[in-house]
Structure 1
Amino acid sequence: MTDTLAPGYIPPPTRRDWIAILSAILGAFMAILDIQIINSSLKDIQGALSATIEEGSWISTSYLVAEIIIIPLAAWLAMVLSPRRFAVSISVLFVIASLLCSMAWSLQSMIVFRVLQGLAGGALIPFAFSLVLTKLPLDIRPKGMALFAITATFAPSIGPTIGGWLTENFGWEWIFYINVVPGALMTLGLLYGLDRSPPRWELLRKGDYAGIVTMAIGLGCLQVCLEEGHREDWLESSYIITLGSIALISLACFVILQLSRDNHLVNLRLLTQRNFLLGSLANIGLGVGLYGTVFVLPVYLAQIQGYNALQIGQVIMWLGLPQLLLIPLVPVLMRHIPPRFICATGFLLFATGSFLSGSLNPDFAGDQFIAIQILRAMGQPLVLVPLSIIATAMIPPSQAGSASSLYNILRNLGGAMGIAMLATVLDSRAAYYFDILRSHVTPGNPAAAERLTLLTEHLGSAEAALRLLDGQVRQQAQIMAYNDAFHAIAIMLGFSLLCIIMTRGLPKAAR
């Protein structure tokens, strides 16, 4: 029976359809895993390639820039090459690029290979999302969205743990070797699950090349600006100002081009649909929450508590593992409870966990984070699956490519903007709090004088006591800055909660 809610009828999925969807989701999982898995091994890779910290940051940045550029291009390239040929090509490229990364002999070669890996991995993410939209009818789609949700939550959660364990026990090369077996399975699954269809080379003549160029320049410059802005001190750097200006002009031209022609690269008019617009805005806040938490928490545990990569991974695992149990239950809940109620509850739990994380003190370490991590783990599955359905339920299958590109790129941009914002908050607020605390550590303050006397007696030197006291004051200022960072994440998640409250309820059949 045709689903009257859908502009185009989607038949029930066959076994081949499910194998194709699962294979594409496996690829998206590996692509997102590769963003986080390298962070815990970055020092080892920098040492092996004789790179400084600033130079080594491009190992991550190059992947993210390539990924964010390819996401809007994925739908068009899939039409030109045919979905099967496109999916298999990027799967093979992902495996080859991973092997090349493990054999990199210099920083420059590593950056080139990471760009290739980012192009392939970035294309796998929207392709998997669009397969869920085009292969699954509305009544089954929540199951597909639940599987896709694992890529967005579980992969970042276990990435640091796997990266740290592999690097400590086998060497950093193994963080790239582990892509080979899943990549081979993914390729075989896509070859079996997707139908053969001829390429449509005529689309190359009709391509929106002006849109491609302005989009690539704009998003590439914006991503580099967000990644490097904190290190370059933002508007104090002419380099960042130039990049930001190019990004602004290019993206403005891109928007004008997309709205003024029919053969657009991405259909921006989808944002006129209320639920898609509000769902996409909520997705930006979700990106801040997902990527911001995985950024701030490891830095806090390393800088304040002295944790190594493996210990940090063990704390973050508490965010990932419970979700594997909860995500399969969400589609069942959606049969009985409106998706926006479930999504709002998830954002509330996620925001509450982030707000509670802003209660740090020198003794607040891994054990104290377990309850908070479980609270976040309960919230995230309740967000990801319903949010995808709320945003895309009324999108026709013909627009699945544009919807997938916009939806995924906004979450990635939310994560990039969130990390840039949080890095700035940590530095600026730490300096602010240090100035306030230092103003109270004076000889005229009895408490400060007493503390300095006790430290002098214990250390046997006034100079050593002063150095220790200075370190304690700086640490306290940093802890207060981390509190502000977690509160900022909670505020962004609160913004997403408001967006979900303002969405229209879906008809019962769409759940």
Structure 2
Amino acid sequence: MSSLTALSTAVAPKPVASPGGSGLAPRIVVGLLGVLLAVLCAGLNEMVTKASLADIRGGMFIGADEGAWLIAVYAAASVSAMAFSPWLAATFSLRRFTLCAISVFAVLGLLQPYAPNLASLMVLRTLQGLASGALPPMLMSVALRFLPPGIKVYGLAGYALTATFGPNMGTPLAGLWTEYVGWQWAFWQIILPSLLAMACVAWGLPQDPLRLERFKQFDWRGLLLGLPAICALVIGLTLGDRMGWFSSPLICWLLGGGLVLLVLFLFNEWSEPLPFFKLQMLKTRNLTHALVTLFGVLIVLTAAILIPSSYLAQIQGYRPAQTAPLLLLVALPQLLALPLTAALCNIRAVDCRWVLAMGLGMLALSCVLGSQLTSVWIRDNFYLLQMLHIFGQPMAVLPLLMLATGGMTPQDGPFASAWFNTVKGLASVVATGVLEALTTLRRHFHSNTLVDNLGNSPLADGQVPGLAKRIHEQALVLASADLYLCMAVLAAALILLIPFVPTRIYPPRAVA
């Protein structure tokens, strides 16, 4: 028996009979919806606390630097858990592990507003980050394992909600809690939905037996290399702009040490009999293309949230509640746009690669329009840009999931889940770090250019009240326009890959 065959046998879950016979059992649907709800709560918890950070800091008497560390340790723990939780779920059973993660996630959310000091809050946020990051891989695992081929694409559409619907709901919910209820609800909002999710998962998902014998082949070396590698890289990227990137020795050590450990980790995974990441899967062109493109798409989607939100807050003085309608315009239609996109991709005559190209084209067009940004823009000027995202986002994400999982066996589900969710988590962190770095770089460039031009003008009067503020604001507007242009170039580059890299796949059981 070859090593790969032995590996597949080692990780394959035992078949579970459907309670209702052949086809999709109603209990599985309930269980899948429970996992989806939990994953959405996990994403919203991170996004809402980020958007509410100023109010949270004021309510808990936390400084700006300490608040940045709270965001960084949560993100590091979350991405790390995405990498290793599929292995743990296969060992302790998907149902048992998911219930444990949701319960810990909810309890820690309840406790955080009562943290007596910063140190205890840091510990609670780190532990909640681990529980939160453990949930997204469970959603893909459930969809790949339990859904019949004919509707598997709709399960993938549910997973795509976590990349389209969830992030766009963060600012609206932050505005609701901070403006009308109380900053504590930025933490407490997940409690009731988590309880409902636990009930759905407990009733809907079948219980697999414990497989503790897998610990005999546990990849201890991989854990000791991979966990600090991911944590160091995420913290370095999250705090890089704040600490001056490579002018800070701490950031240099975090990013340099993290990269070295990551290389050693990947080298170790290649030869492990029961790895966390199955590197051999990257030989599949469609999977490799999907991971690379997903990374780029998520950077564009993150920019579509951060650029208008930052511009409206810093230039026009908007609070989260005032920015909320702009993001709700993208978030709420996803509940209809994703199923429609799934139905389109489930038609045999439709090549999902060209659906992907159309989605990326909409995102690129939105960014090109955004590059015309001026200092007189208000919320209404962004509506057209956001409308292009209503179908652009699902059409850019869902085909990637189809390309990556087409022809994949249930035995490969945990490995695919680890790859996708870790790339998704890292892409979000990299996107934030890159956007912050580009903003700083271009803002300084435009600020210096404006000052030079002003100084060379014979009509310039350096004593004009508020001149420095006006220069800063104009530099920020020009930097935001540059970011939109960079995102348009990135989306266009991803379109150029489509004719050359991925191969066509067909829906597992087409409807037409």
**TM surpasses 0.5:** yes
Q: Which residue of 1 aligns with 2:504?
A: 505
Deviation of 1:39 after TM superposition, in Å, equals 2.0
Which secondary structure does the structure 2 equivalent of 1:360 belong to? Answer: coil
- Assess, with a 3 A threshold, how the Cα gap between structure 1 residues 508 and 67 changes in structure 2: closer, same or farther: closer
Q: Which residue of 1 aligns with 2:4?
A: none
CA contact (8 A) 1:279 1:500 kept: no
Give 1:12-411 correspondences, 5 Å limit.
12-334=23-345, 335=347, 336-411=349-424
Separation in structure 2 between the aligned mates of residue 197 and residue 345 of structure 1, nearest angstrom: 41
Report how many residues are paired.
490
Question: Equivalent of 1:422, from 435, 438, 460?
Answer: 435
**Partner amino acid for 1:440?**
N
Which secondary structure does the structure 2 equivalent of 1:416 belong to? Answer: helix
Q: Which residue of 2 aligns with 1:486?
A: 484
Q: Which residue of 1 aligns with 2:472?
A: 474
CA contact (8 A) 1:72 1:402 kept: no
- Assess, with a 3 A threshold, how the Cα gap between structure 1 residues 356 and 234 changes in structure 2: closer, same or farther: same
Separation in structure 2 between the aligned mates of residue 350 and residue 398 of structure 1, nearest angstrom: 34
CA contact (8 A) 1:211 1:258 kept: yes
1:345-383 CA distances to partner (integer Å, 9 max, x unpaired)? 111101211221111111112000011101112200112
CA contact (8 A) 2:99 2:201 kept: yes
- Assess, with a 3 A threshold, how the Cα gap between structure 1 residues 265 and 40 changes in structure 2: closer, same or farther: closer
CA contact (8 A) 1:37 1:175 kept: yes
Separation in structure 1 between the aligned mates of residue 365 and residue 325 of structure 2, nearest angstrom: 22
Separation in structure 2 between the aligned mates of residue 106 and residue 487 of structure 1, nearest angstrom: 43
Which secondary structure does the structure 2 equivalent of 1:12 belong to? Answer: coil
Which secondary structure does the structure 1 equivalent of 2:174 belong to? Answer: helix
Separation in structure 1 between the aligned mates of residue 496 and residue 482 of structure 2, nearest angstrom: 21
Which secondary structure does the structure 1 equivalent of 2:182 belong to? Answer: coil
Separation in structure 2 between the aligned mates of residue 145 and residue 56 of structure 1, nearest angstrom: 35
Deviation of 1:183 after TM superposition, in Å, equals 0.6
- Assess, with a 3 A threshold, how the Cα gap between structure 1 residues 89 and 473 changes in structure 2: closer, same or farther: same
Deviation of 1:341 after TM superposition, in Å, equals 1.1
Separation in structure 1 between the aligned mates of residue 422 and residue 111 of structure 2, nearest angstrom: 26
Identity of aligned residues (%): 28
Deviation of 1:508 after TM superposition, in Å, equals 5.5
1:248-299 CA distances to partner (integer Å, 9 max, x unpaired)? 1110111111112222121121111000000110010012012232222211
Deviation of 1:474 after TM superposition, in Å, equals 2.3
TM-score (normalizing by structure 2)? 0.92
**Partner amino acid for 2:494?**
S
**Partner amino acid for 2:449?**
I
Deviation of 1:509 after TM superposition, in Å, equals 4.4
CA contact (8 A) 2:302 2:431 kept: yes
Separation in structure 2 between the aligned mates of residue 473 and residue 170 of structure 1, nearest angstrom: 37
**Partner amino acid for 1:288?**
I
Q: What stretches of structure 1 of length at least 5 have no aligned partner?
A: 1-6, 453-461
Q: For structure 1, which segment, 279-288 or 98-107, has the greater mean C-alpha deviation from structure 2 after superposition?
A: 98-107
Separation in structure 1 between the aligned mates of residue 143 and residue 291 of structure 2, nearest angstrom: 17
CA contact (8 A) 1:287 1:412 kept: no
CA contact (8 A) 2:150 2:507 kept: no
Deviation of 1:340 after TM superposition, in Å, equals 1.1
Separation in structure 2 between the aligned mates of residue 262 and residue 247 of structure 1, nearest angstrom: 24
**Partner amino acid for 1:182?**
P
Separation in structure 2 between the aligned mates of residue 337 and residue 503 of structure 1, nearest angstrom: 15
**Partner amino acid for 2:504?**
G
Separation in structure 1 between the aligned mates of residue 107 and residue 49 of structure 2, nearest angstrom: 17
Separation in structure 1 between the aligned mates of residue 132 and residue 356 of structure 2, nearest angstrom: 28
Which secondary structure does the structure 1 equivalent of 2:318 belong to? Answer: coil
1:305-364 CA distances to partner (integer Å, 9 max, x unpaired)? 111121122222222122222112112212142111111111110121122111111111
Deviation of 1:138 after TM superposition, in Å, equals 2.8
Deviation of 1:48 after TM superposition, in Å, equals 2.2
Q: Which residue of 2 aligns with 1:432?
A: 445
Separation in structure 2 between the aligned mates of residue 433 and residue 27 of structure 1, nearest angstrom: 44
1:125-166 CA distances to partner (integer Å, 9 max, x unpaired)? 011111111111332111111122222211111111111211
**Partner amino acid for 2:503?**
R
Separation in structure 1 between the aligned mates of residue 117 and residue 507 of structure 2, nearest angstrom: 57
TM-score (normalizing by structure 1)? 0.92
Deviation of 1:491 after TM superposition, in Å, equals 2.3
Deviation of 1:510 after TM superposition, in Å, equals 5.9
**Partner amino acid for 1:63?**
Y
Which secondary structure does the structure 2 equivalent of 1:387 belong to? Answer: helix
CA contact (8 A) 1:90 1:120 kept: yes
Q: For structure 1, which segment, 335-344 or 246-255, has the greater mean C-alpha deviation from structure 2 after superposition?
A: 335-344
**Partner amino acid for 2:377?**
F
Q: What stretches of structure 2 of length at least 5 have no aligned partner?
A: 1-8, 17-21
1:190-235 CA distances to partner (integer Å, 9 max, x unpaired)? 1111222221111122100110111101000000010011111111
Separation in structure 2 between the aligned mates of residue 352 and residue 107 of structure 1, nearest angstrom: 44
CA contact (8 A) 1:132 1:144 kept: yes
1:228-251 CA distances to partner (integer Å, 9 max, x unpaired)? 111111111111111112101110
Separation in structure 1 between the aligned mates of residue 34 and residue 389 of structure 2, nearest angstrom: 28
1:68-94 CA distances to partner (integer Å, 9 max, x unpaired)? 111111111112211121111111111
- Assess, with a 3 A threshold, how the Cα gap between structure 1 residues 508 and 384 changes in structure 2: closer, same or farther: closer
